[in-house]
Amino acid sequence: MPWQLSEDVEEFRREADEHLAAEAARATTLLTVSETVRRHGTQVYGGPACFGWWRRGPGAPAEAAFLQTPPWPPALGPMPDRLAAELAGQLRSRGARLPGVRGGDRAARAFADAWAGPGGWQLTGRIRLFRLGALTPPHPAPPGRARQASGADLDLAASWLREFAAAVGVTHAMDYAQFAEQRIAEGSLHLWERPDGRPVSMAAHSTPLAGQSRISHVYTPPPLRGRGYAAGATAAVTRAALAVGAQQVLLFTDLANPTSNALYQRLGYRPLADHAEIAFL
């Protein structure tokens, strides 16, 4: 049976939720992005979204899923290589225009080979999914304390989100003030502030879904780095995710950044899966 495609996030979650819940850690991107679309609409990402799921036949449960929120490339959930290649062929037959693909290393490469041929793509990033084992707070603890961001922090949070995006290579336009406002309203954005009350670092967690929550947007301005603030913010937001019901706390790291990889492992995060970010030539 071919992949089923839809622009309706409610249909996607209805058809794929059982599969996503069974693979909650490895499907974290699909869970959190689709939930954001559910709550705030596709405009938060800049355009109509495409969702898809694969099943063996009518009435059978979904066994694979993906989504795309342009201008981002498709995000693949856990799936066999053959289904990734089949998805690429089906999207091409529908006239899709894709900048690349991201997902588990093997599936993303299989998709890229089917879409562009072995020489038609390049690996642009390698990221690793980590899952919390037992939280180990930083020692010594950085000076200061963590707190939830409030409306008074909106301008600062929007500025830092914009700087974070630039640092990780996001080039398309986005309404960071709106994004910051949403995170603050959810209570999911936390700041680390020095004893004098000056915010020096931030981190966020996603709303728990299927028992998982993902840490993201860990950012300290360059002049303030190397003082443990990011460790304090990450430990605090990890505790916050656990406090609101997360059974699995996850995060992605750039494998090209040994500092952040070492930091998260000191805090108790353990490698779970490697992912690839691929651009089509």
Q: What is the pLDDT of residue 275?
A: 97
Residue 127 lies in a domain: no
Domain boundary among 119, 152, 179: 119
Q: 215 - beta bridge partners?
A: 205, 251
Residues 89 and 136 occupy one common structural domain: no
Q: What is the pLDDT of residue 142?
A: 96
Residue 126 lies in a domain: no
The span from the CA of 146 to the CA of 252, in Å, is: 22
Residues 93 and 170 occupy one common structural domain: no
Domain boundary among 96, 119, 142: 119
Contact 128, 271 (CB under 8 A): yes
Q: What is the pLDDT of residue 44?
A: 62
Contact 74, 101 (CB under 8 A): yes
Domain boundary among 86, 119, 152: 119
Contact 215, 249 (CB under 8 A): yes
Residue 125 lies in a domain: no
Q: What is the pLDDT of residue 43?
A: 67
Helix/strand/coil percent split, the chain, to 5: 40, 30, 35
Two tokens at 110?
């299989």
Range of the domain at 23: 4-119
Residues 147 and 221 occupy one common structural domain: yes
Backbone angles phi, psi at 42, to 5 degrees: -75, -15
Residue 279 lies in a domain: no
Residues 32 and 65 occupy one common structural domain: yes
Residue 77 lies in a domain: yes
Residues 19 and 105 occupy one common structural domain: yes
Q: What is the pLDDT of residue 40?
A: 83
Residues 152 and 214 occupy one common structural domain: yes
Residue 230, Ramachandran bin (φ over 0: left; ψ between -120 and 50: alpha; else beta): alpha
Residues 156 and 107 occupy one common structural domain: no
Residues 258 and 159 occupy one common structural domain: yes
Residues 115 and 146 occupy one common structural domain: no
The span from the CA of 242 to the CA of 238, in Å, is: 6
CATH number at residue 266: 3.40.630.30
Segment-wise mean pLDDT, segments of 10 residues, the chain, 281 residues: 92 97 97 92 74 94 95 95 97 94 98 96 97 96 97 97 91 85 95 98 97 97 96 98 98 94 96 97 97
The span from the CA of 155 to the CA of 159, in Å, is: 6
Residue 58 lies in a domain: yes
Residues 168 and 136 occupy one common structural domain: yes
| Whole-number Cα distances in Å, 148 to 1, 202, 225, 237 | 47, 10, 21, 9
Contact 46, 174 (CB under 8 A): yes
Contact 54, 79 (CB under 8 A): yes
Residues 23 and 52 occupy one common structural domain: yes
Residues 109 and 218 occupy one common structural domain: no
Residue 280 lies in a domain: no
Number of domains in the chain: 2
This prediction's pTM: 0.94
Q: What is the pLDDT of residue 71?
A: 86
Residue 84 lies in a domain: yes
